[in-house]
Amino acid sequence: MKIRIKDNSVRLRLTMSEIDKLGNTGEVASRTEFINQPFVYRILQTDTEELIASFVENEIVIGLSANMVKELVATERIGFDGQSGPVKILVEKDFACIDNTLEDQSDNFPNPNLKC
């Protein structure tokens, strides 16, 4: 899972296997190991119908409703966006890049803009 943070905006991009894991277990997480403590970012399936976010003890938790998770798993829906307090949130499928990259993209979704 990739995270991009800029000011009051948080964007999370999930690969195919991460979307599958979210659908099967209701949770997916990644972590970055800093010297003193890890930074964790997690997506959880919640009982609420809106997209929510929290930041507690070096962990960002994004909550998606069961309907949102189901739609990400079972349809062509690209993602969901919303607002949690002053923070804009975007959770979306991670598509393969069109231009050359050294990053492993074998688990990314096929890019709909690529004409194969």
The continuous run of DSSP H or E covering 18 comes out as helix 16-25
Does the pTM exceed 0.85? Answer: no
Q: Are 92 and 13 in contact (CB under 8 A)?
A: yes
Is 110 exposed, middle or buried (CB count within 10 Å of its CB: 0-12, 13-18, 19+)?
A: exposed
Q: What is the pLDDT of residue 38?
A: 94
DSSP 36: S
In order along its 116 residues, the chain shows pLDDT tens digits of: 999 999 999 999 998 899 999 999 999 999 999 998 999 999 999 998 889 999 999 999 999 999 999 999 999 898 999 999 999 999 998 866 556 565 666 666 556 665 54
| Domains, the chain, ordered by start | 1-91 (3.30.1360)
Residues 78-95: tens digit of each pLDDT: 899 999 999 999 999 886
φ, ψ of residue 10 to 5 degrees: the values are -125, 125
For the chain, report the end-to-end CA distance as a whole number of angstroms.
26
